[in-house]
């Protein structure tokens, strides 16, 4: 614990007084202080001027990061017959119907993304209380309920990130690994911010994008200049 404490103190000292940095500078600072023994994820948090308790202020969507996430995504698909075969061919890790529902009801959730063909929704609907709180419930609005399950699997495996605003008005996601080149991380960050901006709901009033910050898994956070994050700098 003493070594961990020293590492964190050193990182916090490096971040002290560093606020509202351009994207590139913020990325380089986070990368330089990502010193864990594993390849840390670079995470982004956006504070939005919305109240998601109101349906017309809900923010959710997907974005395919230009440089991927660096993460291996395990994908489960609810499908039968030909569509099940197509999902497997596209790289799905788990494919099933009632058997998959029973596995999930039994407490085993060994996947990061869940996709369903439309005819499977009567089965998937029974899992709402389990998958919903984990942000894993298939939804046609974000392309995870679709007749083209193969394309949805390829998108999930290829760097597509889902986002959904939380109760406090915050959206967060992983946008790459600390081992990525700074340019590639900066490109991913701008793509993510752009997607959240395009998902601005009709009920949002006043300032929509209030703050952007990034951090590595084990490191402190740093705020990013909004103009730089949105590509308007």
Domain residue extents for the chain: 19-69+161-229, 75-157
pLDDT per residue as tens digits for the range 103-130: 999 999 999 999 999 999 999 999 999 9
Are 83 and 117 contacting, i.e. CB atoms less than 8 angstroms apart? yes
Mean pLDDT in residue range 90-99: 98
Question: What DSSP string runs through 77-140?
Answer: EE--HHHHHHHHHTT-SEEESHHHHHHHHTT----SEEEE-GGGHHHHGGGHHHHGGGT----G
Stated pTM of the model: 0.83
Widest pairwise Cα distance in the chain? 58
Mind listing the pLDDT tens digit for each residue in 128-171? 999 999 989 999 989 999 999 999 999 999 989 999 999 899 99
19-69+161-229 belongs to CATH 3.40.50.2300: no
User: Given this model, what pLDDT does residue 3 score?
Assistant: 53
- pLDDT confidence of residue 1: 40
What does the alpha-carbon distance between residue 106 and residue 128 come to, in Å, rounded to a whole number? 14
- Could you identify the residue written with the tokens 């099933």? 96
How distant is the alpha carbon of residue 194 from its chain centre? 14
pLDDT digits (tens, 9 = 90+) for 44-72: 999 999 999 999 999 999 999 999 999 99
Q: What is the mean pLDDT of residues 191-219?
A: 95
- With 80 as the cut, is the pLDDT of residue 183 above it? yes
Matching residue, tokens 């308790």: 53
Q: Tell me, what's the pLDDT at 80?
A: 97
Rounded-to-integer distance, Cα 95 and Cα 93, Å: 7
Mean pLDDT of the chain: 92
Residue keyed to tokens 């399950």: 149
Cα dihedral angle (35, 40, 41, 45), rounded to 10 degrees? -40
Domain 75-157 architecture: 3-Layer(aba) Sandwich (3.40)
């Amino acid at each position: 614990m003493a070594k961990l404490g020293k590492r964190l103190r050193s990182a916090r000292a490096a971040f002290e007084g560093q606020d509202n940095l351009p994207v590139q500078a913020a990325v380089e600072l986070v990368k330089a202080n990502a010193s864990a023994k594993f390849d840390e994820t670079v995470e982004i948090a956006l504070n939005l001027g919305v109240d998601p308790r109101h349906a017309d202020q809900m923010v959710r969507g997907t974005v395919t990061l230009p440089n991927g996430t660096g993460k291996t995504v395990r994908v489960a698909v609810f499908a039968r017959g030909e569509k099940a075969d197509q999902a497997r061919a596209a790289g799905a890790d788990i494919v099933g119907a009632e058997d998959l529902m029973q596995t999930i009801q039994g407490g085993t959730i060994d996947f990061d993304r869940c996709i369903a063909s439309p005819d499977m929704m009567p089965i998937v609907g029974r899992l709402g209380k389990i998958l919903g709180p984990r942000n894993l419930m298939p939804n046609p609005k974000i392309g995870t309920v679709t007749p083209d399950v193969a394309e949805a699997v390829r998108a999930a495996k290829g760097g597509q990130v889902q986002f959904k605003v939380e109760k406090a008005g915050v959206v967060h996601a992983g946008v790459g690994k600390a081992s990525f080149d700074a340019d590639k991380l900066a490109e991913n960050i701008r793509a993510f911010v752009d997607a959240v901006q395009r998902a601005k709901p009709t009920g949002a009033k006043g300032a929509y994008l209030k703050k952007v910050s990034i951090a590595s898994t084990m490191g402190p956070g740093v705020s990013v200049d909004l103009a730089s994050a949105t590509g308007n700098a």
